[in-house]
Amino acid sequence: MGAGAVVEMGGRRESFSRAFGHGTNNQAEYHGLILGLRHALAWGATEVVVRGDSQVILRQLEGRYKVSAPKLQGLHQEAAGLLRNFGRVRLEWVARGENAAADEAARRAIAR
């Protein structure tokens, strides 16, 4: 399972990736989100726009969908905890094609 994220801030844009072994696509999406949020915080971001192609993850973070899968509960809590560090948070769903850079980063992680 590979996770990828793209962080943009103040004209700086960087992609990050990491392999996590075996898991589901939703686990990979959460890992990518957490990876990106950690880097955004490290860069000093005080607000964040999360653009993701997983409606499940975004709706879970909004509280519209329940997190019933045990393997996602801890990841959801970690992501929600990281989001609380930002003064302003916006969650946006984008079509898969608009998330190509993050998907490519995730593929790089598992190709290593």
The string of pLDDT tens digits covering residues 39-67 is: 999 999 999 999 999 999 999 999 999 99
| Whether pTM exceeds 0.85 | yes
Domain extents for the chain? 2-111
Cα–Cα distances in Å, from 68 out to 8, 26, 41, 71, 77?
A: 32, 12, 28, 9, 12
| Dist. CA 3–CA 54, nearest whole Å | 13
**Phi, psi at 9, each rounded to 5°:** -160, 125
Task: Report the pLDDT value the prediction gives residue 101, as an integer from 0 to 100.
Answer: 86
Task: Report the pLDDT value the prediction gives residue 107, as an integer from 0 to 100.
Answer: 86
Query: What are the residue ranges in the chain where pLDDT is below 70?
Result: 112
Helix (H) or strand (E) holding 82: helix 70-83
Q: Which residues pair with 92 in a beta bridge?
A: 51
Q: Which CATH architecture has domain 2-111?
A: 2-Layer Sandwich (3.30)
| Dist. CA 28–CA 49, nearest whole Å | 19
Nearest CA among 85, 11, 91, 17 for reference residue 51: 91
| Dist. CA 67–CA 30, nearest whole Å | 12
Report CA Rg, the chain: 13
The token pair at 93 is: 């769903």
Q: Which residues pair with 19 in a beta bridge?
A: 2
Task: Report the pLDDT value the prediction gives residue 111, as an integer from 0 to 100.
Answer: 84
